[in-house]
Amino acid sequence: MKRKIPFLALLLALFSCQIESNQDPLIQYLESNHSSPNEYVIKKFQDHDVIFMGENHYIKEQVDLIKDLIPDLHQNGIYYLGTEFLNYEDTELANQLITAETFDEELAKQISFNSLWHWGYEEYIDIYREAWKLNNSLAEDAAKFQIFGIQEYMDFSYVNSEEDFNNPEIMAKVFAQSYDYDEEEGFSANAVKEQVLDRNEKALIHCGIHHGFTSYFQPIYDQESNDFAGNYVKERMGNLVKNMIGERTMTIFIHGPWYARNDNAKQVPPVDGVLDSLFALEANQGLMPFGVDTKMTAFGELTGESSRYQYGYEDFTLKDFCDGYIFLEPIKDYETVTPISNFIRADQVDFVKAQEFEYREYDLTAENLNDSIRIWLEKESLRLKEMED
């Protein structure tokens, strides 16, 4: 006998089929092509020699990713990590640190201080600690993991006023190592050339995303008009390395805030918030974290109209911005890095005051400077939370 299907059940069945047929193409792609962030990066090294991994700064999960990649990099024959958070001239010192019998915490903090006096964050030190741990687990004759700096030493003790920043003679002293380079970030690009390309090696480069652009030319933003200035920065470190080796390099962005289109102080979720919204849904959270290509995938077609990165590009999409994308979790779940207690020592205060002309007239203490690091992080944490609205 023919059974009659209840009308409500029929509606539910039809609705279920519609959801399945209209399933988001991003989710469909991930279900068929899922790679963890580590798997994705290692896969990309099969046909790339230098990969720029761009972060936002101050976000714990982004820095932890770099640390967690180190064992997999070494296991797959990638022995070099370049980092913005190390002076090039301290490269030998950093490699002494990560190949020593014991991990010297004070030396690690000094290296970080040398790079930027306020870069006193546990997670960045943990990168050195992870490299040290790996190297100490290797056989004596095994190739050791190495870290090199891409940052130049900058001496701001020559600056005594805001006007000095526009004085070429003074700035030539501040940036003594790079001032004669024709390109804006030629010093950093040359560091990659010397440490990696000239040795026929491969390397992951950890840096702020703006330094890591390879194919994308960053629009110059007019601060006064809150608008596009009409031209681009075409000499970022990544751009220059791509000029050297072409498609053997690429940019991977770790999911994080973008600058707002018309507000210099505001940040917005990338790609108009699509990914943060999609992966806030419980049904999709099992696919996190992941890494994906932006070229020839649905991810690459995501727009960025709420961000200033769209300036100067007709129909700007994610594939213009980067070659690969790593999504760890929605930005609302991110945490800021951890300040190191008593990072600044009393004997370092005079150096800090020499580097910051506004500080010179004040009777500052190490405690004051350590408090300032903590306060900066609190402000960064607030900026992240404000993006939830």
Instruction: State the pTM of this model.
Output: 0.91
pLDDT for 8 equals 39
Q: Which of 87-96, 127-136, 173-182, 191-200 has the lowest mean pLDDT?
A: 173-182
> Residue 4 — pLDDT band, cuts 50, 70, 90?
very low
Q: What does pLDDT average to over the chain?
A: 92
Any idea which of 4-18, 136-150, 219-233 has the lowest mean pLDDT? 4-18
Asked whether the predicted pLDDT for residue 368 surpasses 90, the reply is yes
Residue for token digits 């600056």? 159
* pLDDT category of residue 385 using cuts at 50, 70 and 90: confident
Minimum mean pLDDT range among 95-109, 203-217, 224-238, 334-348 = 224-238
| CA gap 366, 349 in Å, rounded | 6
**Domains of the chain, with CATH numbers?**
26-386 (3.40.50.11550)
Inter-CA distances, 234 with 108, 212, 218, 270, Å: 34, 12, 7, 22
CA nearest to 250, candidates 238, 232, 267, 235: 238
Whether pLDDT at 370 is above 60: yes
- Cα Rg for the chain, rounded, in angstroms? 23
Q: Dig out the tokens for 234 from the structure.
A: 């075409």
Q: Is residue 13 scored above 50 in pLDDT?
A: no
**11-20, 209-218, 375-384, range with greatest mean pLDDT:** 209-218
Q: Please tell me the distance from the alpha carbon of residue 387 to that of residue 56, in angstroms, as a whole number.
A: 14
Per-residue pLDDT tens digits for 312-328: 999 999 999 999 999 99
pLDDT at residue 277 tops 80: yes
Average of pLDDT values for 252-272? 92
Q: 387 pLDDT exceeds 80?
A: no
> What does the pLDDT read at residue 180?
85
Rounded Cα gap, residues 105 and 66, in angstroms? 19
Does residue 20 register a pLDDT over 60?
Answer: no
What are the tens digits of pLDDT across the range 153-164?
A: 999 999 999 999
Where does the pLDDT of residue 23 fall: very low under 50, low under 70, confident under 90, or very high at 90 and above?
low
Q: Is the pLDDT of residue 189 over 70?
A: yes
- Give 305's pLDDT tier (boundaries 50, 70, 90): very high
Position with higher pLDDT, 289 vs 15: 289
pLDDT-derived band of residue 10, with 50, 70 and 90 as boundaries? Answer: very low
131 and 145 in contact (C-beta within 8 Å)? yes
Residue 208 phi/psi, 5-degree rounding, is: -60, 145
User: What pairing do the DSSP bridges indicate for beta strands 227-233 and 218-222?
Assistant: antiparallel
Residues 6+ apart with CB under 8 A from 193: 241, 244
pLDDT exceeds cutoff 70 at 389: no
What local confidence, expressed as pLDDT, does residue 388 receive? 55
What sign results for the dihedral spanned by CA atoms 207, 209, 214, 219? negative
pLDDT confidence of residue 19: 37
Can you tell me the mean pLDDT for 149-175? 95
The pLDDT value recorded for residue 316 is 97
pLDDT at 377: 92
Cβ 175 vs Cβ 154: under 8 Å: yes
The pLDDT, as a whole number, for residue 384 is: 86
Instruction: Give the pLDDT score at 1.
Output: 40
Single out the residue of 251, 153, 135, 151 nearest to residue 204, CA to CA. 251
Instruction: Inform me whether the pLDDT recorded for 129 exceeds 70.
Output: yes
Backbone angles phi, psi at 203, to 5 degrees: -155, 145
Q: What percent of the chain has pLDDT over 70?
A: 94
Query: Is the per-residue pLDDT at 18 higher than 90?
Result: no
Average pLDDT in the 67-94 region? 98
Average pLDDT of the segment spanning 182-189: 94
Q: What is the pairing mode between strands 267-268 and 258-259?
A: antiparallel
